[in-house]
Amino acid sequence: SQQGEEDPQALSIQEGENATMNCSYKTSINNLQWYRQNSGRGLVHLILIRSNEREKHSGRLRVTLDTSKKSSSLLITASRAADTASYFCATADYNNNDMRFGAGTRLTVKP
């Protein structure tokens, strides 16, 4: 069963703009992770934020986590056409540590 829900389901922007994707989840977690997937390929890990962290940066990526609202956001700044992909959040459940994914956001960056 899925754990998280990403919003929006699809996002289309121009190169150079910022892209924001949101993730909501249901249970208590140890951490939340964001992944990227290009069509027909496996998922690639982008960033991990622990439950006691509120914000984390990695290059052009910024992730926030609000455990009181059970939500996270992924911001990609200065987007590039190569950022076109599906983005998924995944949560490590607090009790059993298994990793559950949301349905993803399909990002299209137009050159």
Partner 1 sequence: DTGVSQNPRHKITKRGQNVTFRCDPISEHNRLYWYRQTLGQGPEFLTYFQNEAQLEKSRLLSDRFSAERPKGSFSTLEIQRTEQGDSAMYLCAGQESSYNSPLHFGNGTRLTVT
Residue 97 structure tokens? 């540590």
Q: How far is the CB of 25 from partner 1 (least distance, A)?
A: 12
Stretch that binds partner 1, among 14-22, 27-35, 62-70, 76-84 (CB under 8 A): 27-35
Amino acid at 33: Q
- Interface positions, 43-102, toward partner 1 (CB under 8 A): 43-45, 48, 50, 88, 90, 92, 96-102
**Binder to partner 1 among 7, 26, 103, 108 (CB under 8 A)?**
103
Which residue's structure tokens are 């990609």? 76
- Please work out, in degrees rounded to the nearest 5, the angle formed at the alpha carbon of residue 46 by the alpha carbons of 40 and 52: 140
Buried b (16+ CB within 10 A) or exposed e, 50-66: eeeeeebeeeeebbbbe
- Contacting residues toward partner 1, per CB under 8 A: 1-2, 4, 6, 30-31, 33, 35, 41-45, 48, 50, 88, 90, 92, 96-104, 106
